[in-house]
Amino acid sequence: MAYLIKRLLLFIPTLIGVVSLVFLILHATPGSPATRVLGEHATAESIADLERRWGLHRPLLEQYVNFVISYGQGDFGKSYRTGEPVLEQILRELPYTFHLAVAGMLIAVVLGVTAGVLSAVKPNSLFDNLGRIFALLGVSMPVFWSGMILIIIFSLNLRWFPIIGAGDMKAPMEILRHLVLPATTIGLFSTGVIMRMTRSSMLEVLDQDYIRTAFSKGISHSRVYLKHALRNAAIPIVTIIGLSFGGLLGGAVLTETVFARHGIGSFLIDSITWKDYPAAQGCIFTISLMFLVINLLTDLLYGLIDPRIRHE
């Protein structure tokens, strides 16, 4: 419990740090955001008017404090483009990105860990070599290209899955049909990363004396691999799964664009294109928050996997 409280307390300054970074990104560059939105040919009056409306005429420190307080209260401001509260828009888009990220991670973890364990169990076998080539391809293929290749094969030629969109949120089968290709696309990259880490971590553990002892005691192979080896190899695997989630969220931005899906990623790109800074800041914060929560859960999982970490 004390471990959980300590981790949660550490989460607060990190969160304030992220809000500060989001604020800094917009304000650290020369020139007013109002000038960037209105363009070079805007008159001084219109720029000053816009700055007053957005509160940019106030001292920087005051702007920063107001920004942090309003984010703390869940107020992400209003979209410059639509005038709607940014939080409402984000909450509307969030389920689409959530589905994509969870499905992608599920594919990556199941495929990556299974292939990694099998590769390590029989190193330098045909399966191991094929697995390593697949993993290398996975980490080398940009997600936006693998998405397009999947569209060409499975949507345009075989016509198995829809090309674009996310389907009707009220029809679960529709959602699933629309999710298969994007989730596979987004999961492929992480599969490669997770497989490589699982393989190397398992190889290291399988070389330990206690594994040899377990085998010599006559314990079944599957039990030794899954209970004795995988559990001890789990910390680096869990770490890489947590870190892969960051890449996966970045990949969501690209995948949603390729498949023209709804979601925070495509909303962010739209906001950047339209120079809608409050919306872009809200999206960046939300995605970072998701990443931080996953990192926090990963840290908490360490404690479950290895009791020594909990007691430190």
Partner 1 sequence: MKGASLVQMLRKSPTAVAGCVIVALVVLSALFAPWIAPYSPVDMDLYSRLKPPSLKHPLGTDELGRDLLSRIVWGARVSLKVGVISVGIGMTLGVLLGLIGGYFGGVTEKTIFSFVDLLLSMPSLLLALAIVATLGPGITQVMVAVGISLVPAFARVTRGSVLTVKEQNYVLGAKALGASHVDIMARYILPNIITPIIVLATLNCAFALIMEAALSFLGIGVQPPDPTWGSILSDGRMTIRTASWVSTFSGLAITITVMGFNLLGDGLRDVLDPRMRRILQAK
- Give the footprint of partner 1 on this chain (CB under 8 A): 14, 17-18, 20-22, 25-26, 28-29, 36, 136-137, 139-142, 144-145, 148-149, 151-152, 156, 246-247, 249-251, 253-254, 257-258, 268-269, 272-273, 280, 284, 287-288, 291-292, 295
Cβ proximity to partner 1, 18 vs 47, nearer residue: 18
Task: Find residue 85's DSSP bridge partners.
Answer: 78
- Smallest distance from partner 1 to CB 252, Å: 9
Q: How far is the CB of 260 from partner 1 (least distance, A)?
A: 10
Q: How far is CA 162 from the centre of its chain?
A: 24
Asked if 195 and 111 count as a contact pair (C-beta separation under 8 A), the reply is: yes
- Nearest distance from C-beta of residue 60 to partner 1, angstroms: 15
Spatial distance between the Cα atoms of 153 and 113, rounded to a whole number of angstroms:
26
CB of 166 to partner 1, least distance (A): 18
Name the minimum Å distance from CB 21 to partner 1: 6
Query: For 117-128, b where at least 16 C-beta lie within 10 A, e where not — what string?
Result: bbbbbeeeeeeb
Q: What is the 3-state secondary structure (H, E, C) of 223-268?
A: HHHHHHHHHHCHHHHHHHHHHHHHHHHHHHHHHHHHCCCCCHHHHH
- Looking at the Cβ atoms of 229 and 253, the one nearer to partner 1 is 253
| Dihedral class, residue 32 (left if φ above 0, else alpha if ψ from -120 to 50, else beta) | beta
- For partner 1, the closer of residues 121 and 280 by Cβ is 280
Distance CA 96, CA 281 (A): 19
The nearest distance, CB 277 to partner 1, in angstroms, is: 8
What six digits make up the tokens of 54?
């957005």
In whole angstroms, what is the distance from residue 278 CA to residue 283 CA? 9
CA–CA gap between residue 39 and residue 52 (Å, rounded)? 17
> Which residue number, 163 or 176, has a Cβ lying nearer to partner 1?
163
CB distance 283 to 271 below 8 Å: yes
Of 95 and 247, CB closest to partner 1: 247
Tell me the closest approach of the beta carbon of residue 280 to partner 1, in angstroms.
6
The rounded radius of gyration (Å) of the Cα atoms in the chain is 24
**Least distance to partner 1 from the beta carbon of 39, Å?**
11
Measure the CA–CA gap between 15 and 1, rounded to whole angstroms: 21
**Closer CB to partner 1, residue 143 or residue 224?**
143
Q: Which amino acid is at 292?
A: L
- Which is nearer to partner 1, 140 or 216 (by Cβ)? 140
Closest to partner 1 by CB, 39 or 307:
39
